[in-house]
Amino acid sequence: MRKPLRLLPLSLCIALALPAYAADGDDEENWGLCPIIDAVPAFNDAPTPIGGIEQRALEPTDIDGGQLERGAKDEDLVVQDNVKLNRGDQFLGTDKLTYNEETGRYTAEGNVRYQDTGMRIVAERAEGDQIADVHRIEDLQYQLTERRGNGGAERIELNGAKGALVGSTYSTCAPSQRAWELRAHRIDIDTEEGMGVARNATVRIGKVPVLYVPWFMFPVDDRRRTGLLYPQISLSNRNGFDYRQPIYLNLAPNYDATLYPRYMSDRGGLLGGEFRWLYPQGRGEVSGTWMPDDRLPGNEPDRYLNPEVGTPMSSLPEKNRGQFLLTAAHNLNSSWYANTNLAWVSDTHYFEDFSSSLYGISTSTIRSNLGLYGRGRYWQAGLMADHNQLADYTLTERNLAFDRLPRAYVSWAQPVGQWFEAGVDSEAVRFEHDVFSGGSRFDLKPFISMPLEGASWFIRPKLAWRYTGYQLDGDGAAQIATTRARAYAIENGIPYTPDLDTRFYDRNPSRSLPIASLDAGLYFDRNTQIRGDHYLHTLEPRIYYLNAPYRNQDGLPIFDTRTMTFSWGQLFRDNRYTGADRQADANQLTAALTTRLISEDDGRERLAASIGQIQYLDDSLVVVPGEIPVEQGKSAWIADASVSPSDRWTIGATYQWNPKFRGEDMASLRARYLFRDSGVVNIAYRYRRNTSFRPGIDPPESKDLLEQADFSFLYPINQTWSVVGRYYYSILDKKPLETIAGVQWESCCLAARLIGRRYLRNRDGELDTRIMFEFELKGLGSAGQNTERVLRRGILGYDRDDLYLVPPTSTERLNNGGGQVEPTSDRTL
């Protein structure tokens, strides 16, 4: 039968209150060790829930029962013998249901069963008044289905938007393995305010109470509220006892703030904060930290020396240390947007003193920028400015890049007719520097190409013309003139005199030249079989010819141009420099070959191997200061390979062998093995030769630029115990960069991690030691330090999802507590 009857709101407060203690991100926990046993098993006579809370009010209620008794108009309607009520995703079953349509009173007795998309409940009795919206449910057990959790309550009392749970329990453990449980004498709920108050709550490990809280307030929905967030507590050699307490401020629906007061026993107090805003056209965040008095510089004065003169700095960075960060974006329309990233630190020791990762000692400068950017189908453009601040005390202002105040660029490329494509890349920049003389630069590069291609081939001839002109400040032009005059005197065997400078003085130097290239390739494939597996085997030869005539560029300044690191991509570029201050002359031919094995079963690339080399047909005479000219002959061979012989193994290698020196310029090896259910082993080796090394001239120790080995693992001993570790070692410097060793224990609903970490703390090679312990009640929260963040950063594959997700942006920032480097906050408005 079907009656216009509103289903009993049994889950109104239960679904909100009982799991309210559960930690955010509960779905990320590992529940694989839990037995497949529910505190409340699925009801065999209940339909599969359909829809959700939003559709309930629009759905009618179906009532079904073996026996129906209807009295007079003002008497009760009695349904008994396997009573079933269905509405949308809700189901209610009981032995006997008594309901009065006039008064709205009801009683459900015997084997009361309720379920929706979020939970299942069994109870002995439920009664209430539908019209007054007053309800009482007695002796119940529940099982959450959208998140893990179960428990019970002596009774639930509901009165409109308010309710109370008496004698309630909650746990994520299975009923047969009650490792921990949360008990509360009484929980009062207000769904309009979205808050609950628990009284006389205890957390028990086994049967032993380990935490008692007489009173605390908590949220019962997703609304943002002002209050305390989880604190962070640690202990280290540098900071001593370290306590950080975030305080969240819910200011408005579209903006909020967080304060980060922090206390370090060996250093002092620090205050950090952030303010975030969001609106239809954009978003932004401003943050900063301030430490009025830091005792660390006074405790370690030898580390705060001026590296140039070896004497203490005139003012140690003890007072008013801090940082400032601003990021904001605003969409003007579908094509244009504005963006800014501003940053500032109080001193050049800041990153090293407030970071616990290698990021802190590898950051040498901070770049701030703001600009207006646009993009269309065939074009992109921008008008921006940037500024650099020194953040490394071992460097000086001379090491800073030039500020670009401002920079404008336009790029356009569009098909012309059926066969051609035309375009232009242009840039205008004003360079400024506190030490060096600046100037302005205009770069223009129009081009035309003829992209021809078929199913198995392509040919792309391209012709470009590049013009670069300057307007230099007087001092900059004079410095270049002096440098060129001295070089001229040495080359011609004549004494240098300042009169020679006038011969080379030019405030408006320029350079122009044509650039021609031809990129062509073929694609062959065949079906093959290896050990019974079917693959698509490809062979992809490619050639690239580049020709650019020599232009003497000694009279041009070096503002933002550097030599690119030689790599696979450079085999097919028309310039080996970044920036427009140098355009390499070239008469060269690249030959390259790639082969792949692609599984026909799942489409995965099981093997990819490439090899290539440049043949320099003439000497390349254009250089930047300190660079060795490229001589006629062959470049280093570049070989790159990756193979996945199974779903567990991934092996990759890159190798550059230089025939001129008969040795490697670069070598890297990386291998990863995944254990069946969890666990990973990573091995990596990296070597790079100093390509500017001059045998017989430079000291032998400067031959190698980098040589490192990295070994990390997560090894499961059994289902509950595992060990983790990392050994990151600089072979060249003969010292470790980071060492991690730890043990983990995990059960269905409990986890504990003990981690020892030793890491490079400063540029002088000193190491810091930290012991980290974390105890976690899954689905409730954890005590101790956030060990998972350290392990995920140090062990690739510690979390399997990290192997398949897009890597996070390389742009990171110091958190507002003045501590570890973290990505942007994941708390969304």
Query: What pLDDT shows up at residue 4?
Result: 36
User: Over 70: is that where the pLDDT of 11 sits?
Assistant: no
DSSP one-letter string for 187-250: EEEETTTTEEEEEEEEEEETTEEEEEEEEEEEESSS---SEE---EEEEETTTEEEEE--EEEE
299 or 259, greater pLDDT? 259
- In single-letter form, the type of residue at position 540 comes to E
User: Over 50: is that where the pLDDT of 414 sits?
Assistant: yes
Neighbours of 152 (CB within 10 A): 20
379 or 480, greater pLDDT? 379
User: Over 50: is that where the pLDDT of 818 sits?
Assistant: no
Query: What pLDDT shows up at residue 364?
Result: 83
- Does an H or E element contain 71, and which? none
Query: What pLDDT shows up at residue 692?
Result: 72
Pick the CATH number of 2-223 from 3.20.20.210, 2.60.450.10, 3.40.50.300, 2.40.50.140: 2.60.450.10
Per-residue pLDDT, averaged over 743-755, amounts to 89
Query: What pLDDT shows up at residue 360?
Result: 58
Structure tokens at 52: 């959700």
Using only C-alpha atoms, what is the Rg of the chain? 35
User: Over 50: is that where the pLDDT of 819 sits?
Assistant: no
**By C-alpha distance, which of 746, 768, 744, 743 is closest to 758?**
768
| Pick from 163-172, 210-219, 645-654: least confident | 210-219
User: Over 70: is that where the pLDDT of 21 sits?
Assistant: no
Please count the CA atoms within 13 angstroms of the CA of 239 that sit on its side-chain side.
24
- The CA distance from 642 to 57, in Å, is 56
Residue 829 pLDDT class (50, 70, 90 cuts): very low
Q: Which among 213-222, 665-674, 697-706, 746-755 has the top mean pLDDT?
A: 665-674
Q: Which among 66-80, 285-299, 453-467, 761-775 has the top mean pLDDT?
A: 453-467
**What percentage of residues in the chain have a pLDDT greater than 90?**
40
User: Over 80: is that where the pLDDT of 524 sits?
Assistant: yes
Cα dist from 756 to 124, 125, 578, 759, whole Å: 52, 54, 42, 10
Residue 219 pLDDT class (50, 70, 90 cuts): low
DSSP 566: P
Using an 8 Å Cβ cutoff, are 704 and 663 in contact?
no
Averaged confidence pLDDT in the chain: 83
Residue 672 pLDDT class (50, 70, 90 cuts): very high
Residue 311 pLDDT class (50, 70, 90 cuts): very low
Using an 8 Å Cβ cutoff, are 224 and 207 in contact?
no
User: Over 80: is that where the pLDDT of 371 sits?
Assistant: yes
Whose tokens are 């759905």? That residue is 59
What are the pLDDT digits (tens) for 77-133?
787 777 887 777 778 888 888 888 778 788 888 888 888 777 788 888 888 887 777
DSSP one-letter string for 756-806: EEEEE-STT--EEEEEEEEEEETTTEEEE--HHHHHHHHSTTSSGGGGTSP
Per-residue pLDDT, averaged over 32-52, amounts to 76
What are the pLDDT digits (tens) for 222-235?
677 888 877 777 77
- The CA distance from 462 to 737, in Å, is 47
Please count the CA atoms within 13 angstroms of the CA of 664 that sit on its side-chain side.
15
Query: What pLDDT shows up at residue 419?
Result: 92
- The CA distance from 26 to 7, in Å, is 30
Residue 823 pLDDT class (50, 70, 90 cuts): very low
Query: What pLDDT shows up at residue 359?
Result: 59
Residue 808 pLDDT class (50, 70, 90 cuts): very low
Annotated domain spans of the chain: 2-223
Please list, in sequence order, all residues whose beta carbon lies within 8 angstroms of the beta carbon of residue 730, skipping any fewer than 6 positions away.
707, 708, 736, 737
Pairing mode, strands 750-760 and 767-777: antiparallel
Query: Residue 74 class from Cβ within 10 Å (0-12 exposed, 13-18 middle, 19+ buried)?
Result: exposed
What are the pLDDT digits (tens) for 248-288?
999 998 999 999 999 999 999 999 999 999 999 999 999 99
DSSP one-letter string for 462-484: EEEEEEEEEEE-HHHHHHHHHHH
Structure tokens at 504: 């080379």
Please list, in sequence order, all residues whose beta carbon lies within 8 angstroms of the beta carbon of residue 20, skipping any fewer than 6 positions away.
196, 218, 219, 220
How much is the pTM? 0.77
- Residue 129 CA, chain-centre distance (Å), reads 52
Distance linking the first and last C-alpha atoms of the chain:
46
Per-residue pLDDT, averaged over 311-318, amounts to 59
Instruction: State the virtual CA torsion across 499, 501, 503, 504 in degrees, nearest 10.
Output: 180
